[in-house]
Amino acid sequence: MADIRENWRGLVAAALESLRQAKAPDAPAVEAASVSLETPPDPAMGDVGFPMFPFAKLFRMGPPQIAAEVAKLLADNPETASLGTVKQVGPYVNAFLAKGTLAGDTLGAILAGGDEYGKPGTLAGKRVMIEFSSPNTNKPLHLGHLRNDALGESVSRILKFCGAEVYKVNIINNRGIHICKSMLAYKKFFAGKTPESEGIKSDLLVGNCYVRYSQYSKEEPEKAEAEAQELLRGWEAGDPETLELWKTMNGWAEKGIAQTYKRTGISFDKFYYESDTYLLGKDKILEGLEKGIFYREEDGSVWVDLAPINLDKKVLLRKDGTALYMTQDIGTAIARNGDWPFNQLMYVVGNEQQYHFKVLFYILQKLGYDWAKDLYHLSYGMVNLPEGKMKSREGTVVDGDDLINALRDGALEEIAAKGREEAVGDPSEVAEKIALGALHYFLLQVSPAKDMVFNPKESLSFTGNTGPYLQYMGARISSILRKEEAGGRSLEGGKVDPSLLTHDAEWELLKTLGDFPKQVIRAGENHDPSAITSYLYEVSKGFSRFYHDCPILNAGSPDLARTRLELARAVRIVLRNAMNLVLVPFLETM
């Protein structure tokens, strides 16, 4: 579909150029890139529309008058006959695409492309490093982490689908006072216990320690804080006993987190550890001080003036010469570019850190790194439950594994209620995939910048705008194709003839399928997977209408039946490709 639209764009540009030569010969030539392409709000108005507003000043004519003249030029052009018909609609030149041409082009592209269909290649040659997840080793992954992970993994897949070379990194926050708080609680209240002795997932034991410290700090706040600080000093001094406990508990946390990553389909190319990076950046700050990029206060601390970005100032080294998080992030970014030179480094971090990244990017540019201008903060909003906000230290967060387990069990109940245990093969495996589809689709259907409320019951619905609904559509199409492969008499001798696809439901479905590459580009440019989730729902609704209005295996003629079956096959290809981009497992049976 993209080809026929671009052909129309070229014809409209040529007509405008002819008009320019006649009306404004001294004006710059009209290029195809300057011609905008839109979709009319009502199919009765046309399939594609070209607004004439941008050319009013050039021709010193009203947009409707320009549209009338361009439409006449196009109608008189014999090249338009194979592409469809054209008419003026106010200030627009609208085209009705030739159905046979579009159907043939779209079906041919999808069926030939298969897993490759929809790849626009717009980011070919670009190297993007993307940092996401960044868990603390004092608790399991919770619902907030799951949104971060889904965003990071989905955007990575979308960028790669667009042709970019993507390198996924994760910094493990494995040091600091918050880690020592869990360690202190273990020593005081859990000593000698292990994940095996407790019969729980290893990261959950560490998380229980963090919650217990919070309780202890309420009982004896001054004592608890002093003891935690003492552990931190012991860690920094290299105390063997403290380091041994730190390694043990970090190992438990990382093992459990890795299990959740594997379960949810999240992966990384490289892990960084804060225990290795927290001293980075200090040398770069001192170099910047010598060059006059930064300045020293009377107490000896080093600062950067942020007036050029309409902020105040930021300390980079304390008066005792110790570094801060900002200093560490500066050094880590520079080290990463040395590890894997990138065109862009993207950070998937909550919106509460917007100030931090604005300052970080500014400082790196001041230090003279060319790649700093392309640093990007993929900021996202909070995710809460219908009951309200979650708090880790109070133990009110939703553990990621517990949530997936609950969704899986709900899916299992639905499979049993419908008597589908034998039909689906392995009910537990299918229920797990339904749970992941429900979770990821719900998390990604909201634009990243927005706060959201995760409703487990709504996410698991098998009707409406949900992951399970998409999976059901994919399974339904797979069932139709299996029936044909088993031998369908109605298709004997049938040949594919795209010109037979003239029903309104077929036409709208074809246009939607042809939009896939454009939606991928949109999602990649905006770093927003919700463009893909919205598109998937449109495809599913389009197929549902087509399936209802247009019999496939009982179409009435072998040629029409065969052609409609290939249209269904094309829908399955697009669903599978798009669902993979938003972490929704495709199911052959449900």
pLDDT per position as a tens digit, 246-299: 999 999 999 999 999 999 999 999 999 999 999 899 999 999 999 999 999 999
- What 3 state SS string does 344-364 have? EEEEEEEHHHHHHHHHHHHHH
pLDDT per position as a tens digit, 57-114: 989 999 999 999 999 999 999 988 888 999 999 999 999 998 888 899 999 999 999 9
Please tell me the distance from the alpha carbon of residue 95 to that of residue 462, in angstroms, as a whole number: 38
Please tell me the distance from the alpha carbon of residue 312 to that of residue 299, in angstroms, as a whole number: 18
Look at 50-54, 146-150, 166-170, 415-419 and tell me which has the smallest mean pLDDT.
415-419
pLDDT per position as a tens digit, 227-236: 999 999 999 9
Q: What is the mean pLDDT of residues 10-39?
A: 93
Q: Are residues 267 and 157 in contact, defined by beta-carbon separation less than 8 angstroms?
A: no
Instruction: Kindly give, in sequence order, each residue whose CB lies less than 8 Å from that of residue 244, ignoring residues fewer than 6 positions away.
Output: none
Q: What is the mean pLDDT of residues 332-353?
A: 97
Among 543, 535, 549, 541, smallest CA distance to 578 is for 535
Instruction: Label residue 530 exposed, middle or buried (CB < 10 Å: 0-12, 13-18, 19+).
Output: middle
Residue 207: pLDDT over 50: yes
pLDDT of residue 396: 57
Residue 2: pLDDT over 90: no
From the CA atom positions of the chain, what is the Rg in Å? 29
Q: What is the mean pLDDT of residues 455-476?
A: 94
Residue 423's pLDDT band (cuts 50, 70, 90)? confident
Residue 491: pLDDT over 90: no
pLDDT per position as a tens digit, 242-255: 999 999 999 999 99
Q: What is the mean pLDDT of residues 130-159?
A: 97
CATH topology of domain 2-97: Gyrase A; domain 2 (3.30.1360)
- What 3 state SS string does 90-124 have? CCEEEEEECHHHHHHHHHHHHHHHHHHCCCCCCCC
pTM of structure: 0.90
Give the sign of the dihedral formed by CA 53, CA 55, CA 57, CA 59.
negative
Residue 488: pLDDT over 90: no
Residue 483's pLDDT band (cuts 50, 70, 90)? confident
Instruction: Kindly give, in sequence order, each residue whose CB lies less than 8 Å from that of residue 117, ignoring residues fewer than 6 positions away.
Output: 109, 110, 516, 573, 574, 577
Look at 1-5, 136-140, 183-187, 205-209 and tell me which has the smallest mean pLDDT.
1-5
CATH topology of domain 403-581: Isoleucyl-tRNA Synthetase; Domain 1 (1.10.730)
Bridge partner list, 563: none
Instruction: Kindly give, in sequence order, each residue whose CB lies less than 8 Å from that of residue 436, ignoring residues fewer than 6 positions away.
Output: 263, 264, 265, 404, 467, 583, 584, 585
Domain residue spans of the chain: 2-97, 403-581
The residue that leads in pLDDT, 555 or 560, is 560
Residue 391: pLDDT over 80: no
pLDDT of residue 17: 96
Q: What is the mean pLDDT of residues 498-520?
A: 94
φ and ψ of 446, to 5 deg: -100, 135
Q: Are strands 127-131 and 92-97 parallel, antiparallel or unpaired?
A: unpaired
Residue 1: pLDDT over 50: no
Average per-residue pLDDT for the chain: 94
Q: Which helix (H) or strand (E) holds 304?
A: strand 302-305
